Amino acid sequence: MEEVSSGTKKNGRKGQMFLIAMVFILIGFFTVRSIIDIYDVFEEKRTQDIKIEDLQLRNIMKEYGYAAGIATMQPDANRSAQDYLFNLSSFIRNTRDARILYAIAYANGSTGKYSVTVGNFLDENINGTVSGTNSVPASQQFIITDRKNVTYEFNFTANGTVELNITYTTGSIDTKELLNVTVQDPGLFIEILSDVTLGGSDIKLRSKEIYNRTWRVP
């Protein structure tokens, strides 16, 4: 019988261990590659989701601009703007995971008055203050429940620009908005702030825009 030397046995064991090690390396390589591929697919889907949400948010902001523009063509621009923005915000909240706050400042130079409407569609109650320069009263405090709006009327003491401050609190976060209201007899002026946040499982996009227009009393 032919004897196998101990050196040959050791070499055989080394060869087997090398093959086993190569198998584990290959398994690890393909496992890591699969994880990377899954991650790439996830990131690609997330990128596409963000693009879709961004496009939808842009379209929503355009709708607020359209609603504001159409309102100024109506006999009662202020009342029309209040109705249009309330109905638009209600529709968006009913169909999307959205949080919305809007404000309407309307001035009639021939009456010496301007009004401020704040609409709350933030899915929580808010409290805050509306204040303006050259205005009587100087400020008004408000508490608005979700899906509601409030309107306050002010007298202005001089033609020009009213610096209108709207401050409100949601949870523990304080927010301040500034609108410049043009008051000029016999002109009409409207300024609309729309602040919209679209949410998803892990995506949140926010946009804020201001629309304004000045025109003459018919």
User: Per-residue pLDDT tens for 175-193?
Assistant: 999 999 988 878 899 999 9
Query: Is 173 contained in some domain?
Result: yes
CA distance 65 to 193: 10
| Res. 4 pLDDT band, cuts 50 70 90 | very low
What predicted TM-score, i.e. pTM, was given to this entire model?
0.79
Residue 161: domain span: 46-216
Tokens of 199: 């949410």
Residue 97 in domain = yes
Rounded Cα distance, 203 and 124, in Å: 20
**Which residues have C-beta within 8 Å of that of residue 112, sequence separation ≥ 6?**
155, 156, 185
Residue 30, domain member (yes or no): no
Say yes or no to pLDDT of 86 above 50.
yes
In three-state form (DSSP H/G/I as H, E/B as E, the rest C), the secondary structure along 111-179 is CCEEEEEEEEECCCCEEEEEEECCEECCEEEEEECCCEEEEEEEEECCCEEEEEEEEEEECCEEEEEEE
Average pLDDT over residues 143-150: 97
Amino acid, single-letter form, for residue 165: N
In contact, 107 and 157? CB cutoff 8 Å: no
Strands 173-183 and 187-199: unpaired
Is residue 201 situated within a structural domain? yes
Higher pLDDT, residue 39 or 214? 214
Distance of CA 78 to the CA centre of its chain: 24
Flag whether 104 is in a domain.
yes
For the chain, how many structural domains are there in total?
A: 1
Q: Is 14 exposed, middle or buried (0-12, 13-18, 19+ CB in 10 A)?
A: exposed
| Residue 15 lies inside a defined structural domain of this protein | no
User: Of 39-48, 105-114, 141-150, 151-160, which gets the smallest average pLDDT?
Assistant: 39-48
103 pLDDT above the threshold of 50: yes
pLDDT bin (cut points 50, 70, 90) of residue 46 is: low
In a domain, 19, yes or no: no
Assign 218 to helix, strand or coil: coil
Between 159 and 164, residue with greater pLDDT: 164
Q: Would residue 33 count as lying in a domain?
A: no
> Token match 């409100």: residue?
168
CA distance 45 to 34: 17
Mean per-residue pLDDT, 28-38 = 56
Per-residue confidence (pLDDT) for residue 104, from 0 to 100: 97
